[in-house]
Structure 1
Amino acid sequence: MSEVTSTDLYEVTMALSYLREDMRAPATFSLFVRDLPPGRGFLVAAGLEGVLDHLSRYRVSGSDVEEFAEVLRRPVADLEPLRGLSFDGEVRAVPEGRLVFAGEPLLEVTAPLPQAQLVETYLLSLVVHQTAIASKAARCVLAGAGRPLVDFSLRRTHGPEAGLRAARLCALVGFAGTSNVAGAHLWGVPAAGTMAHSYVEAFPSEEAAFRAFARTHPGPVTFLVDTYDTDRGVATAARVFADLGLGPGCGIRLDSGDLGAQARRARTALDAAGLQDVRIIASGGLDEYGVDRLVRDGAPIDAYAVGSKVGTAADAPYLDAAYKLVEYDARPVMKLSAAKVTAPGPKQVFRGPGLRDVIGLANEAPPEGTEPLLRTVMRGGLRTDPPDTLAAARARFETDLAALPEESRRLTDPVPPLPSASTRLTALTTVVRHRVESGASGAGRQTT
């Protein structure tokens, strides 16, 4: 299936009409999140690398035109104006890893109107999904308070591709590893994993399973100890570790029940056996809330594996995001629908100390003491720089997170920062609103 046809039908019908009407002037679309989901104090910008890859190779082929014609039940000749259309526009965007807030553009696309319209659906899908997952994973990092976290989400994500992205996004915000073999290979992330309960069940006893596993994997190993009785499983694991001379780097994994209480008993048993260096890893339905409770309770857990709830951003699986036209042919435009008003004109986000942001116009000077967040990352349909790295994105994330106010870092009832609008953006919004409401939207150009 072509990426070009992975779009909503109305993108095709609008683009075709624009071409028929010779509406090919530059248009700027802004992609932003209207409101943060409940319980979120921030979002982590993500998905930009996929956007740039998509736009770099975007081209409507003959088979795409045939597919459009088939679903529209129209002759192929009617869709011929779309053939060969590619993306040769500009993208300005917030780099991956930076924290963003409601109303701030994550990216802006400026291109001939049919091009900028056709790419809407794919760009929204990439940015919304990945920003949601990265933001959920970042909250787990906060909850872990410095303890290593591992991505175990692949088997519960919405398809293998989503799992591959989740492995990258978790690494972006600081996870120590992933169980996803393809993700570990592709993104250069340490692979991590233990064994399943089925492995233990396949052997006559837990001890036989543990010894067999250690024979196959002589390096540091982690035994899953709760297939039958957890306390007995811990004792068996301790005996095997001691008999085989295994210790530093090895671990046991707890995957069910009262993880805090089991971890305390396990730590006592391991220490009594002289295995103070054996780590305890916890998993099983965890997300930031579960990790936070265990950390606050002082559970002696060394690392956490999180999966289902993080890889699907279970409590906030979507974002109220939009991709809206803000300027066409140098004329600022805006939407006035109830609860969905948009601000006109290409924009910039100016960030001050403490992540105090001002949303302004793209062509205005930065207020003193601020930095512009959106950078030009594509011009003429080509990247302006080499592909970004996970290390660079992670460094940006860590810098922004350290500057985030404590009230916005809270996992429960956070207070997200509220960006303000610049004087020039406010003035332009007033002018355009008046023009639209007076019915003069077609009465010539308004420049900024």
Structure 2
Amino acid sequence: MSTPLSPLFTDLYQLTMLAGYLRWGLHEQEATFDLYFRRSPFGGSYAVWAGLESALDYLTQLRFEDEHLAYLRNLQLFDEAFLAYLQSWRFSGEVIAFPEGSVVFPNEPLLTVRAPLGEAQLVETALLNLLNFQTLIATKAARAFLSASGSPHGGSVVEFGARRAQGPNGALLAARAAFIGGATGTSNVEAGQRFGIPVVGTHAHAWVEAFPSEIAAFRAYADAFPDDSTLLIDTFDTLKSGLPNAITVAHELAGRGHALRGVRLDSGDLAYLSRRAREMLDGAGLENVKIVASNDLDEFVIDSVIREGGRIDVYGVGTRLATGGGEGGGALGGVYKLVQLGSTPKMKLTADRAKSTVPGRKRVWRARDEAGTALLDVVSLEGERPQKGQLVTDPANPLNRTRLPERCTLESARRVVLEAGKRTEPASPLSELQAYAASELRRLPEGTTRLLNPHVYRVALSEGLQSLRARMIAELEADAPGA
């Protein structure tokens, strides 16, 4: 699916720690790491899990070649025994994860790596990069998709952000993740070729400026693409020039047995302009011509346009989607923490208790009601099954407890996706991941996807896991200097 990442795509301290583990004979101990985030992005209450396929590709393809070893040798940090170890390095561990496209929440392990310490440690940086970024973008796309689909006239989202994404690879992965989150297409042609995403596009203002007149430009574009033309109508004056000229060209196309696909707005009051454009198009008998909009859109702008009666059919969302920008965006704060070494649970206890980890090997359960609506997620010890009516605890506030509903079903939310370093199932088509994400979003409790003041979906710790955590906190505090 993708070009293998270099094994040098890592932070230096991963390699220095790995060399230290090897030196002291710790590298073969079985280690368990959990990957999770503490706060949902964009001020929301959920995220759409994306990037798993990229992460599995990385783990199964990771190899140190001669050129990589030569560079490390030249750093004069590492001895030949360590470089020989890297030469034969392969990931042989197990990965347990939510299916890609799942709706996920803070403070639950999204992905767990179980492998020799020397393997599990090395992959931290790349896993966080691949999964943090794509989950952020898929979530942003889902928010835009849900806003657009809330229009009484319907609406869809396409990804237009390649030119302002964080580099070429960022643009490609953003297009992939946006499609999982609900975008119906991308302007990025390489993403279309690589991932099978439908490619879409119109033309720029430069096209219009390159011809003697606006109508000449429209006619030339329609002649070149008679069945696939969307005309940009705001180069000079949207309602007095651009739209009337587009209507003229649409009628000329119809006379030759073709149809204008759409018109695009890229500036101005999108709600007002789209209403007037719809009236003028319908009045000209062009009810099937779509109205496309661009210009720094995000979920909040889309929601505002719809509330003001806008008649946009397709929203081209660019910068704020491909970069994960906007309020509460910028990055997903996913972390990767050691939770067990051998048979011994491990815990980070810090002065900032919100950053304390939850020890031990775990399972994640999703409680649903009779209609299939998700009620809450419960994180338990590996061999523990939560019981209905049992008290469960907020991982961020142990005083906040609730009971598992008596009338619910519990389903295991994660599955083994890599075993002994090999995939357990083939990759799913991207269209299936998109459909799965949409289905999961529909099964959230009412209010969870609101843009403002959303319902906070609960994640809780089981009785057994909370008991282990409390016991370890007490032991660590008792052993602390000055206790």
What is the TM-score when the length of structure 1 is the normalising length? 0.94
Going from structure 1 to structure 2, the CA distance change for 1:223 and 1:2 (only over 3 Å counts) comes to closer
User: What does residue 435 of structure 1 align with?
Assistant: 475
Determine if the alignment matches structure 1 residue 268 to structure 2 residue 315. no
Going from structure 1 to structure 2, the CA distance change for 1:213 and 1:248 (only over 3 Å counts) comes to closer
Match of 1:327 among 327, 340, 353: 340
User: What does residue 405 of structure 1 align with?
Assistant: 445
Deviation of residue 433 (structure 1)? 2.3
Going from structure 1 to structure 2, the CA distance change for 1:107 and 1:78 (only over 3 Å counts) comes to closer
- Give the 3-state SS of the residue equivalent to 1:429 in structure 2: helix
Q: Distance in 1 between matches of 2:159 and 2:387?
A: 40
Matches within 5 A, 1:59-208: 59-74=63-78, 76=80, 79-145=83-149, 146-208=154-216
Query: Which residue identity does 1:227 align to in structure 2?
Result: T
Going from structure 1 to structure 2, the CA distance change for 1:60 and 1:357 (only over 3 Å counts) comes to same
CA RMSD of aligned residues (A): 1.8
CA contact (8 A) 2:22 2:82 kept: no
Matches within 5 A, 1:306-325: 306-315=317-326, 316-325=329-338
Going from structure 1 to structure 2, the CA distance change for 1:348 and 1:74 (only over 3 Å counts) comes to closer
CA contact (8 A) 2:294 2:315 kept: yes
Deviations 1:164-207 (A, max 9, x none): 11222222122221111111222222211100000110001111
Determine if the alignment matches structure 1 residue 360 to structure 2 residue 380. yes
Deviations 1:194-244 (A, max 9, x none): 000001100011111111111111213110000111111100111111123
CA contact (8 A) 2:271 2:306 kept: no
Task: Say which is worse superposed, 125-134 or 156-165, in terms of deviation.
Answer: 156-165
Task: Say which is worse superposed, 34-43 or 363-372, in terms of deviation.
Answer: 363-372
Match of 2:45 among 32, 41, 50: 41
Q: Distance in 2 between matches of 1:227 and 1:159?
A: 29
Task: Say which is worse superposed, 295-304 or 23-32, in terms of deviation.
Answer: 295-304
Q: Distance in 2 between matches of 1:144 and 1:333?
A: 45
Task: Say which is worse superposed, 268-277 or 9-18, in terms of deviation.
Answer: 268-277
Deviation of residue 94 (structure 1)? 0.7
Deviations 1:59-109 (A, max 9, x none): 233432332233354555664433311110000001111111110111000
Q: Distance in 1 between matches of 2:261 and 2:171?
A: 27
If asked which structure has higher relative contact order (CA below 8 Å, sep 6+), I would say: 1
Q: Distance in 2 between matches of 1:32 and 1:247?
A: 52
Q: Distance in 1 between matches of 2:235 and 2:444?
A: 42
CA contact (8 A) 2:359 2:468 kept: yes
Q: Distance in 2 between matches of 1:434 and 1:41?
A: 31
Segments of 5+ residues of structure 1 without an aligned counterpart are 441-448
Q: Distance in 1 between matches of 2:260 and 2:303?
A: 24
Q: Distance in 2 between matches of 1:159 and 1:35?
A: 26
Match of 1:55 among 56, 59, 62: 59
CA contact (8 A) 1:349 1:374 kept: yes
Deviation of residue 249 (structure 1)? 5.7
Q: Report % sequence identity.
A: 43
User: What does residue 404 of structure 2 align with?
Assistant: none
- Give the 3-state SS of the residue equivalent to 2:121 in structure 1: helix
Deviation of residue 404 (structure 1)? 1.3
Question: Number of matched residues?
Answer: 440
Q: Distance in 2 between matches of 1:61 and 1:433?
A: 44
Task: Say which is worse superposed, 63-72 or 332-341, in terms of deviation.
Answer: 63-72
- Give the 3-state SS of the residue equivalent to 1:277 in structure 2: coil
Determine if the alignment matches structure 1 residue 242 to structure 2 residue 251. yes
Q: Distance in 1 between matches of 2:37 and 2:57?
A: 22
Matches within 5 A, 1:279-428: 279-315=290-326, 316-337=329-350, 338=352, 339-353=354-368, 354-355=373-374, 356-365=376-385, 367=387, 369-428=409-468
- Give the 3-state SS of the residue equivalent to 2:206 in structure 1: helix
Task: Say which is worse superposed, 131-140 or 415-424, in terms of deviation.
Answer: 415-424
Deviation of residue 419 (structure 1)? 0.5
CA contact (8 A) 2:93 2:114 kept: yes
Runs of 4+ in 1 over 4 A off after TM superposition: 72-78, 246-249
Query: Which residue identity does 2:199 align to in structure 1?
Result: A
Query: Which residue identity does 1:94 align to in structure 2?
Result: F
Going from structure 1 to structure 2, the CA distance change for 1:181 and 1:38 (only over 3 Å counts) comes to closer
CA contact (8 A) 1:69 1:78 kept: no
Determine if the alignment matches structure 1 residue 255 to structure 2 residue 266. yes
Q: Distance in 2 between matches of 1:314 and 1:192?
A: 22
- Give the 3-state SS of the residue equivalent to 2:355 in structure 1: coil
Q: Distance in 1 between matches of 2:99 and 2:7?
A: 24
User: What does residue 443 of structure 1 align with?
Assistant: none
CA contact (8 A) 2:250 2:259 kept: no
- Give the 3-state SS of the residue equivalent to 1:41 in structure 2: coil
Q: Distance in 2 between matches of 1:344 and 1:360?
A: 11
Task: Say which is worse superposed, 413-422 or 281-290, in terms of deviation.
Answer: 413-422
Query: Which residue identity does 1:128 align to in structure 2?
Result: N
Segments of 5+ residues of structure 2 without an aligned counterpart are 389-408
Deviations 1:316-356 (A, max 9, x none): 01112110000001110000012310000122210012421
Deviations 1:244-276 (A, max 9, x none): 317756110000111111112222222222222
Task: Say which is worse superposed, 12-21 or 77-86, in terms of deviation.
Answer: 77-86
CA contact (8 A) 1:61 1:84 kept: no
Q: Distance in 2 between matches of 1:153 and 1:135?
A: 15
- Give the 3-state SS of the residue equivalent to 1:30 in structure 2: strand
Task: Say which is worse superposed, 76-85 or 288-297, in terms of deviation.
Answer: 76-85
Going from structure 1 to structure 2, the CA distance change for 1:280 and 1:358 (only over 3 Å counts) comes to same
- Give the 3-state SS of the residue equivalent to 2:43 in structure 1: coil
CA contact (8 A) 2:48 2:101 kept: yes
